[in-house]
Amino acid sequence: MPDQILFYLLGGLAVVASVLVIGQRNPIHSVLLLIASFAGLSGLYVLLQAPFVAVIQIIIYAGAIMVLFLFVVMLLNVGREDTDVDEQSPVFVHRVSMRVGALLAGLLVVELVWALASAGTLGGVFGPMSQAPPAVTSVRTIGHALFTDYAFAFEVTSILILVAMVGAVVLARREAK
């Protein structure tokens, strides 16, 4: 029972935050609300016994990618979303984009209904879905694989990141003169 309450709380947080994201005039508020939505999703992953995905969700999406978004928004210095363009564009364009949007939304609803209705019987690419043992996705297993089978790849990644850093410095630094 507490699981269900938590599910509805977190799911509700994700849905409400997502809806608010598109309702904002200020892009920075949108980005911050998106982070809230990701936090909700991350909580759902924990409920699904996938703690690793949950942590990754926070670190990569809420951490790295959202910071990138914020930077871009701030660098572009977009104070408020400019809606003038939409209002000035010809009615025809407006209508076409509305219709395409409505069509896509309709498709999404149909797909969701179909997927939910057949959730029990649906099979994956590799035969019917089975209850995967939770151990597979645990941080422990992934860490073990990362530092044994993939130890070399892990080390090469550090070189890759170093190269990216050197490259960024070379291309972006200001001339000393």
Partner 1 sequence: MLFSMNAIVPLACVTAAALAAMVAEAFRTPGERMPIAPLGLIGLVAAGIATVLLWGHGYVSFNVVAGDDFGLFVTGVLVVIGLLTIAFSPATIEREQLPAGEYYALTLFAIAGMILMAQATDLLVIFLALEVLSLSVYVLTGIRRDSRAASEASFKYFLLGAFSSAFFLYGIALTYALTGSTHLDRVGQLIAGHTFGSGAMETFAVGLLAVGFAFKVSAVPFHMWAPDAYEGAPPVVTGFMATGVKAAAFAAFVRVFMSAFGPLSAIWVPVLWGLAVATMILGTVVGVMQTNVKRLLAYSSIAHAGYLLVGMVSANAVGRAAVLFYLLAYGVTNVGAFGVLALLESKDRPNDELRDLAGLWNVRPGLAALMTVFLLSLGGFPPLAGFIGKWFIFTAAIQSGYYGLAIIGVLTSVVSVFFYLRIVVMMYMTEPEPGRAPLSAPIVPRLAGAALGLATIVVFYLGILPTQLIDLATQSVARIF
Task: Give the residues lining the site for partner 1 (CB under 8 A).
Answer: 125, 149-153, 156-157, 159-160, 162-164, 166-167, 169-171, 175-176
CB of 174 to partner 1, least distance (A): 10
**Looking at beta carbons only, is 76 or 125 nearer to partner 1?**
125
CB of 170 to partner 1, least distance (A): 5
Are 35 and 73 spatial neighbours (Cβ–Cβ below 8 Å)?
A: no
**Looking at beta carbons only, is 118 or 157 nearer to partner 1?**
157
Are 28 and 51 spatial neighbours (Cβ–Cβ below 8 Å)?
A: no
CB of 78 to partner 1, least distance (A): 24
**Looking at beta carbons only, is 15 or 72 nearer to partner 1?**
72
**Looking at beta carbons only, is 72 or 107 nearer to partner 1?**
72
- The alpha-helical segments, DSSP class H, found in the chain are 2-23, 27-47, 51-56, 66-76, 84-88, 91-117, 139-147, 151-172
CB of 165 to partner 1, least distance (A): 10
DSSP secondary-structure letter at 123?
Answer: E
